[in-house]
Chains A and B, each alone.
Chain A
């Protein structure tokens, strides 16, 4: 029995429900990736789906990221609706030719004749002491590329709801799933059925400062906002949700209300999504700002293995609170 709205489920279960629903409703949908079948998924997202849907639709692939991602692109162009799982963003670099040179370009190069309705899911992020090669947050690389749509569900509702519009989109959609959120529990609400792919969402309203973030950092911001509230600072949290396109209207709308902004990004600062968001605020809302834009990003090091160093490298509530207090500056 699938738990419905109102129940508490994990992020993992929310993603799995979405995949199961898609498989049940559309015979064109299939899941393909490394260890998605017999193993049940590296993060147990697809556990049980092989028994339920069979080998044809739950396809274990060889460790050939380029071939199976490219095959997903081809199958999508030919009328199927593949969900391609790349175990983590780290391994997606072995398929980046297919994603950037094929998925993102073919609709355009063909003069619009061949849309590429593929969905590519991949886990992202650090926080589990997996060291430098298993801890990347490279969302910005993909968000850089016209032709792709890039989303990152950070909530249970989005984890449950984003797959359906992604599969309905005629464009290639990359869904980033933060590894550190798979075990997160939360309430599934009716809103999951109506989520879209392109709008940011005010996760927490507040009058004093805007925190713009996405992915696992949403919850770091929530913790920081609670701490700030205790000292009378009400932070508004904007969960970007869509990393391409960026929802300028939502970002600027919040900044115009609070006039102060801190951007929290698990990517490295240099050339990051935080840089893009900040520049859009400068371009479109410079005169609405009462203080310089603040940023909390991952330190510019490959992610180290020891816990104390990894923690020190990543954005955390304490650094977010400190950045907000700096931004509040004279106002406090």
Chain B
């Protein structure tokens, strides 16, 4: 089922946890709600489930307004951050709970539970109690329990937060497969941008209770609407420019300005991969020293220092690095292939500032 939020706000006393959030999720989509902790994403998820009531606005599930429908009747599957398995019940009874409440017949319950346990690779564990399970198994029991009565929507709160890194990777891949098999509209909350990028069809990014950006992983990475999103999704060099003679300056670097730009300062951002390096110090416009190389597996991150002391980050593959015969302390020249003007974190959502960001993302090699 589709989900739609219209003008949703939530206040806890004086605190605006969520402010005027609008977005919609199409049927069968897998969507991540991403943001730093305290950003309001969990509150949004809980409002969709009916565990919290919005202070303002309406929520539609499958086109039907659900504001007056209680949590019990919304027929959503909710997976809690710490799984919230019923400690006093076996795996079987945990998964069967919702069906028993709905007075489904015994043979039907038996069949459905066994089918789900099979699907989630939990066969043979039905008599175990939650404290006898590993973190990954608990997680899957929680998902099986949420899926038991065939909900229209599956909501997961930080689904991989409480398991260790290796299992997290497995669970991610497994969630994508499961979503593909069941094709149920799925929303999950995460503060891990990598997780959101890897798993979801689209990402909804929250900042301080406001919606910062919605888009595919590629969209938000390549076309962040503001500095907050840009810094949150991946690594970005962010520089503050002073404006004079129709150009933006910082240290040795010079950037063209968009037409009609009038302010004294501007902020720009560029990804490390956009910094192109050569050992021929005359090949590109700017000169720098390679200060330090960080090995991140297949990719390397390079820290360049300009004569003025300005530092910027670049990245390249191991092959490129050895082809160029780079070493810490060597002289290089570089150019910045593409960059973006950024709205500030607080004002980034105001439309009058957004138009700066609607410049074509690439300014090419003419810097």
Question: Are the chains A and B members of one assembly?
Answer: no
